C-alpha cells in the first residue's frame, strides 16, 4: 500500500511547479511597505540559493491567477520558513493571494528602459517612444522605488522640454484607464498646491454641479502637504469609489469628489506621487504632466487651475507662477483641453483649518453659509467657480461671480454637497482631535507674515494627514493686530507623542507668524 504523499510530493504535483519549477508557499506578513511590493525569503531557502537571489533582487512572483514583481528582503530568522515566501501587504493585495497558496519565483527580466533614464541623467533628451516605454515598465511594476526616484530626479535636475512634457502627459494617460462622458462640456478644477488650507474644491464642485455643469472631480491625496483634497473629502464621505460607482454618482448628481487612484486614472502618476512625497520633490514638468494627465484621463474638456503665489508658497514669485501658467496652457492645448490658469494670492493659508478634518470643517461652514465661515475661503471658491462657469459657457462672460454667489447664497450648493456625499456612500461628521495645544503671541503687534511651509510642517508633525483630526487651527491672519498672550493658532493631534513632536518644532521656529510693531 502506498503511503500518504509528503510535502515534497505535494509540491511536485502542484500545477504551478509544472510551469515554473521554483515553488514556495505564500505567507501574509502583514507589513506595510508604503505600497511597494516586498517579498521575504530565508537566506537558506533552496530557491534563494539555487537562483542566486540576494537582498534587493527583483523577483517575478507567479500564481495560477496573477503575476507581480517584488523586491526581495532576505530573512535570517524563523518567522519565515525555508519553504515559505512572505509577502508585504502591497504585494499580497496586488497578487490577490490566498493563505497557503503556492507561487513560482524567477528573476525579473532586465528593464531596458532604465538605460534611457540613465541617459537622461547625463543630459540626453527623451524621445516619445522611449518615454512611453518607461511609463509602461512603471505601470507593470518593473521599476523599484529607487528607479522611480532616479527618473524623478533626472527630470527635475536636467529639465524637460515642452515636447517631453507633452509626451509624458500623453503617455501617462495611455498606460491607464480613460473615462468618457455623454456631455459636450465636462468641467474640472485643480490647484497646484503648496498653500495650507485652500480647500476650495468641494465647495466649487457643489456650486458648479448645482448650476448644471458636469464636474466629475478626481482628486489626489497629499504629496508634501498636511492634506490633499481627497484626504479632506474622506472625512465627509467615502472617496475610494471604483469607476462604476463614480459614474453612478455623476449621473445622479452631476458631480463627485473622489480619489483618482481608486479608478486607476494615470496610475503611473500615483506611483510617482508616492515617491515624490518621500523625496519632498515636485518639479514644474512633473506637476504639469501629473495635473493634466489626470484631467484628460478623467474626461475633462474645460479646466481651471488655481496657482497660488507667495513668499513661502510652492511658487514664490509672479515670474515663476506665470511660467507654470504658460506651460499649463501650452501643454493643455496640445492634449485637447480648454484651460484657464488663475494666479492667486498665496501669501498665507486660506481658511482656518490645516489638516483633513479641520479643512473639511471649513468647507461645511462655507457651503452651509455659516456666519463665522472663513470669508477668504468663501471668496476664493466663488472666484474659481465663476471662472469655471464662464469657461464652460454656463453664464455670460463677466456674470460668473454673481452667478456662483447666488448658488451658494440660496442653499443650492449646500444641498448639492449633501447629495453628492450621500451618493458617494453617506455623509460623515469630520472627527475631532483628542490632544490640543494653544500657541499664543509672545509680544503685541501686527501680523506681518506667515511661513506657510513651516506651518504645514508643524501640522504634519502633529500627525496630518495620516491622522485626519490632526493639524492646525489658525486664529490670526496677516494684518491682524494681536496682544501678548492672544491665541495665534491651536495645534491638534491624536497622540501625546505627535503633539510633543510638533511642539518641539514650534519651539525651534517661534517666528512662523511674524509679529511687527503696531503701526
Note if 370 is an active site residue: no
Distance CA 471, CA 231 (A): 12
Residues 6+ apart with CB under 8 A from 129: none
Angle ∠(377,495,257) on CA atoms, nearest 5: 35
Cα dist from 29 to 42, 61, 466, whole Å? 13, 16, 22
Yes or no: say if 304 and 388 are a contact pair by the CB < 8 Å rule.
Answer: yes
Q: Is residue 256 a contact partner of residue 125, using CB atoms and an 8 Å limit?
A: no
Strand 445-450 to 23-28 pairing: unpaired
State the catalytic residue, choosing from 270, 282, 362, 467: 282
Q: Alpha-carbon distance 157 to 144, whole Å?
A: 20
Which residue from 463, 443, 425, 434 is spatially nearest to 517, judged by alpha carbons? 443
**In the chain, helix, strand, coil percent, each to 5?**
45, 20, 35
**Number of CB atoms found within 10 A of residue 410's CB:** 12
Handedness of CA 394, 397, 399, 405 (dihedral sign): positive
What's the CA angle centered on 126, arms 56 and 164, to 5 degrees?
Answer: 115
Residues in contact with 115: Cβ distance below 8 Å, sequence separation at least 6, in sequence order: none
- In DSSP terms, 394 is beta-bridged to none
For 176-220, give the DSSP string: SB----S-S-BEEEEE---SSB---HHHHHHHHHHTT-BEEEEEP
CA dihedral 55, 80, 89, 93 (to 10 degrees): 100
Buried b (16+ CB within 10 A) or exposed e, 134-146: bbebbbebbbbbe
Residue that is written with C-alpha cell 451658494 in the block: 408
Contacts of 379 (CB under 8 A, 6+ apart): none
* Sign, CA torsion 373/317/273/340: positive
Catalytic residue IDs: 282
Amino acid at each position: 500500500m502506498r503511503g500518504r504523499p509528503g510535502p515534497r510530493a505535494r509540491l511536485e504535483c502542484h500545477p504551478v511547479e509544472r510551469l515554473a519549477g521554483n515553488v514556495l508557499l505564500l505567507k501574509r506578513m502583514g507589513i506595510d511597505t508604503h505600497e511597494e511590493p516586498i517579498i521575504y525569503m530565508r537566506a537558506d531557502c533552496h530557491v534563494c540559493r539555487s537562483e542566486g537571489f540576494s537582498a534587493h533582487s527583483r523577483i517575478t512572483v507567479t500564481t495560477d491567477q496573477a503575476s507581480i514583481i517584488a523586491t526581495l528582503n532576505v530573512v535570517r530568522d524563523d518567522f519565515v520558513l525555508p519553504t515559505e515566501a512572505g509577502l508585504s501587504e502591497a504585494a499580497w493585495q496586488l497578487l490577490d493571494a490566498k493563505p497557503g497558496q503556492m507561487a513560482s519565483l524567477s528573476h525579473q527580466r532586465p528593464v531596458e528602459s532604465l538605460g534611457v533614464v540613465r541617459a537622461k541623467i547625463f543630459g540626453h533628451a527623451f524621445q516619445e517612444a522611449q518615454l512611453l516605454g518607461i511609463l509602461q515598465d512603471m505601470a507593470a511594476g518593473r521599476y523599484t522605488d529607487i528607479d522611480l526616484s532616479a527618473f524623478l530626479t533626472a527630470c527635475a535636475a536636467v529639465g524637460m522640454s515642452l515636447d517631453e512634457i507633452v509626451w509624458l502627459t500623453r503617455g501617462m494617460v495611455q498606460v491607464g484607464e480613460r473615462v468618457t462622458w455623454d456631455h459636450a462640456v465636462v468641467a474640472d478644477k485643480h490647484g497646484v498646491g503648496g498653500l495650507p488650507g485652500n480647500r476650495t474644491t468641494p465647495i466649487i464642485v457643489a456650486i458648479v454641479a448645482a448650476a448644471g455643469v458636469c464636474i466629475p472631480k478626481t482628486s489626489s491625496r497629499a504629496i508634501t502637504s498636511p492634506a490633499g483634497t481627497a484626504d479632506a473629502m474622506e472625512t465627509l464621505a467615502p472617496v475610494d469609489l471604483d469607476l462604476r460607482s463614480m459614474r453612478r454618482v455623476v449621473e445622479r448628481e452631476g458631480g463627485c469628489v473622489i480619489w483618482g487612484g481608486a479608478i486607476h486614472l494615470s496610475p503611473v502618476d500615483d506611483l510617482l506621487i508616492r515617491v515624490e512625497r518621500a523625496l519632498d520633490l515636485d518639479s514644474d514638468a512633473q506637476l504639469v504632466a501629473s495635473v493634466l494627465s489626470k484631467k484628460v484621463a478623467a474626461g475633462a474638456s474645460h479646466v481651471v487651475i488655481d496657482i497660488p503665489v507667495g513668499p513661502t508658497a510652492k511658487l514664490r514669485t509672479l515670474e515663476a507662477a506665470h511660467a507654470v501658467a504658460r506651460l499649463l496652457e501650452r501643454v493643455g492645448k496640445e492634449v485637447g483641453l480648454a484651460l484657464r490658469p488663475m494666479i492667486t494670492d498665496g501669501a498665507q493659508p486660506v481658511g482656518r483649518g490645516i489638516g483633513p478634518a479641520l479643512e473639511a470643517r471649513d468647507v461645511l461652514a462655507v457651503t452651509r453659509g455659516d456666519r463665522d465661515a472663513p470669508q477668504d475661503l468663501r471668496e476664493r471658491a466663488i472666484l474659481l467657480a465663476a471662472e469655471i462657469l464662464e469657461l464652460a459657457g454656463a453664464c455670460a462672460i463677466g456674470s460668473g461671480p454673481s452667478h456662483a454667489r447666488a448658488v451658494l447664497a440660496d442653499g443650492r450648493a449646500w444641498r448639492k454637497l449633501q447629495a453628492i456625499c450621500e451618493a458617494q456612500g453617506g455623509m460623515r461628521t469630520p472627527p475631532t482631535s483628542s490632544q490640543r495645544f494653544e500657541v499664543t503671541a509672545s509680544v503685541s503687534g501686527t501680523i506681518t507674515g506667515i511661513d506657510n511651509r513651516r506651518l504645514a510642517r508643524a501640522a504634519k508633525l502633529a500627525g496630518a494627514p495620516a491622522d485626519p483630526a490632526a493639524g492646525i487651527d489658525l486664529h490670526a491672519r496677516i494684518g491682524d493686530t494681536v496682544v501678548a498672550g492672544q491665541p495665534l493658532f491651536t495645534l491638534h493631534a491624536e497622540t501625546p507623542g505627535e503633539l510633543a513632536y510638533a511642539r518641539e518644532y514650534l519651539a525651534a521656529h517661534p517666528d512662523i507668524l511674524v509679529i511687527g510693531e503696531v503701526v
